[in-house]
Structure 1
């Protein structure tokens, strides 16, 4: 009996005096593992576990303890102080973390400091603080990517003078670019739910060695949240719920995700719903942006109706929902299986820039209706990872994915009874096998192969809105056409010296196109398109630290884009009075790029980053005038239209400079800034030159940030430079209706700025509230090439709860 009593007393003493502390990131509140804890003479030490927990019983109550981690600032405290704060200790990320890990360059973890490419990382703490409306806004808010919008339901990134199908978009390593990604602005990025994204990595410049066709200007890789396992035998349960309201378009967004974890199984379910009303623009800016009238159908007849509030862009509203299901299985320490299911669907949404086009007489509007049908995206992605020693590898990753895309276009002219519609569906299958080999001394090899198959379904129809009679019409693409590619690559990282890393890679890709043209509606002078192209791309670069606080990087790389079904086979009205027709005689375009970067760290107080780049594009696929059966004009949708086609008709060069700065004034105050300058010229075969279409204006931002343990605020300015009439691409000059007019009456894109404030306060460890005020001087502006005006003064309220 005495022994039992003694044991109980001993256990009670242990419970009373033991102190388990949790070490967390101050911004994300995620646990930090492998934090080293020690006293001043290093006679006592401890280490946090996977959950950031550690027992500090070995230390005295008032003894000074040091907490150290490579990625975080040093922190000193005592057991008593930590206990008064609920046994939680928060660490602050270092000013410039050189040991940051990136995935996008090789598909395996690499130290960012060893990579010669410029890479921007938008991590979980950035996403949580910014709380973007869409994934397009997530990219734009980074300050490093320019985003164009033709309508509220959109967002087309521009990187280093390239856009749309010359940029590659991927989710969890699976490319979203499909056979009908077009050269015009597109909005596929909004299918990605920003609330499901864990981090985003943006590679600037060609990424064709790893990603193949389309990766000319850059790669945007979205990594979504993973299902988390339990660290014990019991079931773990956690989740997040959030709400966001924005006044400029009366946004209401709801999100919830729930994670269930066992030691070998884990499940994550995520759902988001967005409802957006019509966007309201600002009060101070060009009057030409105002929506003075719109088309309404009254008693079956189209009439022009005065807009009661000319700052409201009617119609721009839409809604969207996103679902994600993750299932993870880890039978042992060697293998792990991850299944990801994604689904996104929008409502119908108007293409606003087409609805503000004037008619040929200039006394009304050209279109009564122009809207996209629901944009749908489904992806099922199964990934198998093996860690361990194989004969030729240390890591094996097999990824198989199926994607289904749906989109449609619907337009009807003012007082026209016929609504023309096209509907497209793409089924995409892909298989990737990737190896990592770390066996050869200071050389790490990454190699693998890829196969992708796309099949395009396309239908056309026309409906008489008075009689509701529907009949078939020409489709946008050849129905049943296919696009496929087979590729192999090898990529090496060689640590020549501790301060000098060399990276190089090669890839060979082969692309096939098979399309049969339907001559029912147009007498095509050809029956089919059968393209068979190969491309060899490579890269060579280095990362060098001549001093511990100075980094110099250099990278030379090539990229390519093979023609796809959109280039070869589409029929559509590119602009008023012009129609694009198929052209089966196309070849890939190639890009040659060099980049030099310098980064200097001044005592972890000031960090300066700069990069200069030059890209030369050969055999550029561009839209130019064309002869169709010897004719310069044909009838399209009842209108005589000038004939154009995609052709290898130009070369182009783009160059620019990117600058970033971070200054840490005190432990609480910091300053951040970004500036991007880009110039680009297209050279025609006849020797004439014109400005590049997707070259963004000079843009930048400046942030003054304050943060402590509970509060973070960001007062910042966004700036965009002017694009004069003479710097507008030729194709943009004809779109007077989306631009302001200069003193000579010519269209141009004015410069603009906005003043903004973001703030986030942590009421408790579980509950956060955010209050943002965007564009509080109520500027009226449109980003370059955008058909919809940006929001005016915009109050954003957000709540986030972690359970």
Structure 2
């Protein structure tokens, strides 16, 4: 007994000592919260949590009120007595406050409420819960970005009637759009690893003043995770491991990231690998989408094989690897250096919409696929704060290098010739951005930008029996260059808390150069070289007005532009069966002039109604139209007599729409969230107004979400209206093989809906389980203009373990 008593007393003392330390965690992510202020009512006692979210509260008495306060979380009051044996406190995120901070509007942090434009944000917690397979799916979860897919390894965003090279993509502030971004559907967004994303901001509408060419319909800004410093002599170590499986395409995904934080240095390593099998479509829907047969090649001999499961979309599977390494160095409080290295590579990606084309009742292609899509970026970012400079309060300088590699390989059924087109592009950019506060009411933003792109392209024909290759016409003129120089400025005037005015101007000059001597061996163009000079002046002006706590008005007017790039002036490719696009050097920038009006009604955060209306006029639109080459309207291309077409300033367009969002917080734990988008528009085609290709159907969603400390469930529906044959753009009518047939046998895009259920459960503080059942009723459908049918009933399971 004498032996056990001291041991028992020591044990009680140990428990008492331990009880003086608490750990503060986010109630949803269960991650530690750094920098929580802990104090009593008169603030005579105070402490701040460290990088582990821990603090010693031994100086507080057992019964006095202890306040826990953090900028991004709700204030909480506890007593030491109420802690019990857990010693853990959970704080609820102030999501309303988090959503108000945006970067993309000026490249500097601003209050979202001050921005005249509509900006949609998706944070890491939302991404973790929605569990998307690609970054294109991340955008789709916003409910305001429409996604088209030509193949499983794809995802081409549409925003307010614009798509592809009329939308801009940035990664950590660096422009991803390059000189060969095309008007056809683009898949580059899938190169961004969804597991690495910290936050995504989608600007709805023009963004040319800040971002230049291509930011006509919107800007998609992806901000990846940052290395975290410990700010102490102790090591801050964090690691996450994620495993995921999806049944509809037999997806197997693995991801890990590791953060090592020191006082002045921090390192973040991230890696993801995903393997997708062929995608299975739903059981209930148009039979036109089924895959009844496919081409099987054995010993260079093609044979059409009956598909034993027509719902399985042969061939769609592929795999992808994403790597990211970041380094942060902060020698002083007012300066930091951030280096980011990003690398993405894929396997060959079958171009499914080309594999389902028929010619004379026989499948046209034996093979059609993209070669590995490789993207590398290095980005050095220097941020400096100054309290003494007359020129700036904050400066961000970024220098970046990107390398893009892509290829297209196709071979017709029973043909011995395989066509190969390979592209490599090097992109260099320099951005210097400044922020200056002149007074408590006035802020000024300005900057300069320089971009240089060089394109290397080659074309080959390969005999599949002998494997010998011969040169042929390349997709782009080899050695072509595209460069852009710009200056911009923007001013923000906020005379009081209710009213904000923002305005800006940008001047851009773009030069494109191309040499067609090599391709003239095959095309006989009337010129050997082309040089295109384009200048553009764009502006924006808008106001945000909140006359009271309930109402907020936003009004914004802007102009935007897209300058011709190498894809416009120099491309040679088969745009559709029986047509070939040839170069055209006589191009000018296209301009967009638009306005949008927003009204937000917030009834004490119980009911929030968000309404937006917009209108855009596109002038001198760069579009593909029939053309003549040396007086000829047809030429031979890849062994087929084809109509000649070219990109031309040959159109005008009018686009308009309305967006409505509703949030109803039914209880503290239950809310209803819904979004609906109405879009319309026409363009001029040979003096006739016709539907626009990238105007999506009206679409929306509705979510009923329940949340408590450890459990979250979301029952939701996605829905999509029909586009009738009469409302299809002419270019879509020509692609009848991707559409369903109406009662008259004409192509159209049917309406559809899906019912879905998603849950998330925290198992302790380190393990997170996410499970989803999507398309519960197993609908067979395609999103508008998509060549591949969407997933049928799909069970998704994800497990995350954190250290």
TM bin, normalised by shorter chain, reads over 0.9
Deviation at 1:169, TM superposition (A): 0.3
Aligned to 2:265: 265
Structure 2 CA distance for aligned equivalents of residues 322 and 98 of structure 1: 28
Query: Which has the higher mean CA deviation after the structures are superposed, 294-303 or 50-59?
Result: 50-59
Aligned to 2:665: 664
Deviation at 1:441, TM superposition (A): 3.7
Structure 2 CA distance for aligned equivalents of residues 364 and 99 of structure 1: 53
Structure 1 CA distance for aligned equivalents of residues 476 and 336 of structure 2: 41
Aligned to 1:348: 348
Structure 1 CA distance for aligned equivalents of residues 746 and 14 of structure 2: 83
Aligned to 1:203: 203
Structure 1 CA distance for aligned equivalents of residues 512 and 744 of structure 2: 47
Aligned to 2:370: 372
Deviation at 1:45, TM superposition (A): 6.1
Aligned to 2:798: 798
1:318 is the counterpart of 2:311: no
Structure 2 CA distance for aligned equivalents of residues 146 and 275 of structure 1: 24
Structure 1 CA distance for aligned equivalents of residues 763 and 415 of structure 2: 57
Structure 2 CA distance for aligned equivalents of residues 135 and 687 of structure 1: 39
Aligned to 1:172: 172
1:737-793, CA deviations, whole angstroms, 9 ceiling, x for partnerless residues?
A: 100011111100000000111111100111111111111110000000000000000
1:574 is the counterpart of 2:572: no
Aligned to 1:4: none
Aligned to 1:594, what secondary structure does the other structure show? Answer: strand
1:759 is the counterpart of 2:733: no
1:285-337, CA deviations, whole angstroms, 9 ceiling, x for partnerless residues?
A: 00010000000113432111000110000000000101100011111112111
Aligned to 1:222, what secondary structure does the other structure show? Answer: strand
Aligned to 1:491: 490
Aligned to 1:22: 23
1:537 is the counterpart of 2:549: no
Contact 2:138–2:194, Cα closer than 8 Å, also in 1: yes
Deviation at 1:569, TM superposition (A): 0.4
Contact 1:98–1:113, Cα closer than 8 Å, also in 2: no
Deviation at 1:63, TM superposition (A): 4.0
Deviation at 1:87, TM superposition (A): 2.2
Deviation at 1:668, TM superposition (A): 1.3
Q: 1:17 to 1:292 in 2, by over 3 A?
A: closer
Aligned to 1:771: 771
1:63-108, CA deviations, whole angstroms, 9 ceiling, x for partnerless residues?
A: 4545455644454433233344x32222223463387211101101
Contact 1:99–1:113, Cα closer than 8 Å, also in 2: no
Structure 2 CA distance for aligned equivalents of residues 231 and 87 of structure 1: 24
Aligned to 1:458: 457
Aligned to 2:259, what secondary structure does the other structure show? Answer: strand
Aligned to 1:106: 106
Aligned to 1:596: 597
Structure 2 CA distance for aligned equivalents of residues 788 and 736 of structure 1: 13
1:432 is the counterpart of 2:402: no
Aligned to 2:138, what secondary structure does the other structure show? Answer: helix
1:524 is the counterpart of 2:522: no
Aligned to 1:331, what secondary structure does the other structure show? Answer: strand
Structure 2 CA distance for aligned equivalents of residues 14 and 355 of structure 1: 68
Aligned to 1:508: 507
Deviation at 1:426, TM superposition (A): 0.3
Structure 1 CA distance for aligned equivalents of residues 365 and 740 of structure 2: 21
Structure 1 CA distance for aligned equivalents of residues 173 and 96 of structure 2: 26
1:599-654, CA deviations, whole angstroms, 9 ceiling, x for partnerless residues?
A: 11112211111111111110000000111111111111110111111000001011
Q: What stretches of structure 2 of length at least 5 have no aligned partner?
A: 1-9
1:203-226, CA deviations, whole angstroms, 9 ceiling, x for partnerless residues?
A: 010000110000000000110111
Aligned to 2:90: 90
Q: What stretches of structure 1 of length at least 5 have no aligned partner?
A: 1-8
Aligned to 1:182, what secondary structure does the other structure show? Answer: coil
- TM-score norm. by structure 1 comes to 0.96
1:126-167, CA deviations, whole angstroms, 9 ceiling, x for partnerless residues?
A: 011112101011111221210000000000000000000000
Query: Which has the higher mean CA deviation after the structures are superposed, 46-55 or 583-592?
Result: 46-55
Contact 2:37–2:49, Cα closer than 8 Å, also in 1: no
Q: 1:745 to 1:791 in 2, by over 3 A?
A: same
Aligned to 1:474: 473
Contact 1:28–1:124, Cα closer than 8 Å, also in 2: no
Deviation at 1:20, TM superposition (A): 3.2
Aligned to 1:734: 734
Aligned to 2:569, what secondary structure does the other structure show? Answer: helix
Aligned to 2:398: 399
Structure 2 CA distance for aligned equivalents of residues 787 and 317 of structure 1: 15
Aligned to 2:219: 219
Structure 2 CA distance for aligned equivalents of residues 439 and 210 of structure 1: 20
Aligned to 2:128, what secondary structure does the other structure show? Answer: helix
The root-mean-square deviation of aligned C-alpha atoms, in Å, is 1.9
Contact 1:71–1:99, Cα closer than 8 Å, also in 2: no
Contact 2:239–2:257, Cα closer than 8 Å, also in 1: yes
Aligned to 2:719: 719
Structure 2 CA distance for aligned equivalents of residues 506 and 194 of structure 1: 33
Aligned to 1:388: 386
Structure 2 CA distance for aligned equivalents of residues 13 and 347 of structure 1: 56
Structure 2 CA distance for aligned equivalents of residues 557 and 217 of structure 1: 11
Aligned to 1:406, what secondary structure does the other structure show? Answer: strand
Aligned to 1:547, what secondary structure does the other structure show? Answer: coil
The count of aligned residue pairs is: 790
Aligned to 1:632: 633
Structure 2 CA distance for aligned equivalents of residues 334 and 67 of structure 1: 28
Q: 1:610 to 1:44 in 2, by over 3 A?
A: farther
Structure 2 CA distance for aligned equivalents of residues 383 and 464 of structure 1: 48
